[in-house]
Amino acid sequence: MSAPSLIEIKGLEYAYHSGARVLHDINLSVCKGEFVAIVGQNGSGKSTLARLMAGIDFPSAGQVLAGGINTRDKKLALDLRKTIGIVFQNPENQIVFEKVADDMAFALGNLGLDKDEIAVRIRETAAMMGIENFTDGFELSMGQKQRVAIAGVLAMRPECIIFDEPTAMLDPRGKKDIHSIIVDQHKRGLTVVYVTNVIDEVLSADRIIILSGGSVKYEFEKKDLFRNIDKLKELGLETPFIFESVDKLKSRGIDIELEDYTLDDLTEKIAEKVK
Ligand SMILES: Nc1ncnc2c1ncn2[C@@H]1O[C@H](COP(=O)(O)OP(=O)(O)OP(=O)(O)O)[C@@H](O)[C@H]1O
Ligand SMILES: [Mg+2]
């Protein structure tokens, strides 16, 4: 039996005030505990969809339900915030207060948490995200701001977080660190919707959704990724190193079926073959 759905999008259409329809005919669901990657070229509508999923913007037609809550229902706005959080593509849209701790505390206070709980969550999340020494949020680099923005949402501990290209501004080490923190949070039960065009990050997903021109062009499970790799190439994404390795081994007569496309998985399968 599949897990119950946490986000349900039905007949979604969206146009900005200024004009043309940006999203159309979107029907999607995200299950509790799932890790879904949303991939697509610049302007395909990823960030717009992310904001609609989180109830920051509202559909022009159709509806978005998150944990059964219609995102338009203002009376349930607090419950919605406890269910779903979003890390914006631009961290400057996320940071409101100058002091990093005040910024995190404000959002936690809005959830109705007491002072002690707020202090514990700020301390734990700041340590996890490596931002303990950041004080003035406005004076940080974009990559540092991105860490603060992610920390603020993680500290709220919603059931699901939508990450809109969360590692785009980080250095290579930072990208790996933050991506693995998100993967770890997923293992602990967080439902993750992850907008990215980084192939290694796509590999962490259970399901991949490709947006094009404001609608879903392709949608497939991770287990079908190998035979759908051309669809990612269409977007200009690189072929993962793991896939090339499997192809090369195959050309040498060694057939390998991977389960999670990690180096550990590949090593394990080769070791089984040569035993
Ligand atoms: N505030 C806005 N007002 C009007 N149109 C907008 C606005 N924001 C985005 N758009 C338009 O909506 C479309 C989708 O934009 P969106 O930012 O959702 O794309 P994206 O896939 O996230 O792109 P990127 O990869 O560059 O982040 C684009 O055509 C864009 O011009
Ligand atoms: Mg975007």
Structural domain spans, the chain: 5-93+159-236, 240-275
Q: Which two tokens stand for residue 143?
A: 């990559």
Among protein residues, the one with the nearest Cα to ligand 1's atom 28 is: 43
pLDDT tens, position by position, 46-97: 999 999 999 999 999 999 999 999 999 999 999 999 999 999 999 999 888 8
Per-residue pLDDT tens digits for 189-244? 999 999 999 888 999 999 999 999 999 999 999 889 888 988 888 888 888 888 88
Q: What is the pLDDT of residue 261?
A: 81
Q: Establish whether residue 45 lines the binding site of ligand 1, counting it when its CB lies within 6 angstroms of any ligand atom.
A: yes
- Residue 1, pLDDT > 70, answer no
Question: Which residue in 161, 162, 160, 180 sits closest to 170, CA to CA?
Answer: 180
Task: Give the chain's mean pLDDT.
Answer: 92
**Å from CA of 212 to ligand 2 middle:** 13
Output the six-digit token pair for 51: 């904001």
Q: Residue 118 C-alpha to ligand 2 middle, in angstroms? A: 31
What are the pLDDT digits (tens) for 130-160?
999 998 888 899 999 999 999 999 999 999 9
Beta strands in 133-252 (DSSP E): 160-164, 191-195, 207-212, 215-221
Please give the CATH number for the structural domain made up of 5-93+159-236: 3.40.50.300
Q: Which atom of ligand 1 is nearest to the CA of 50?
A: 18
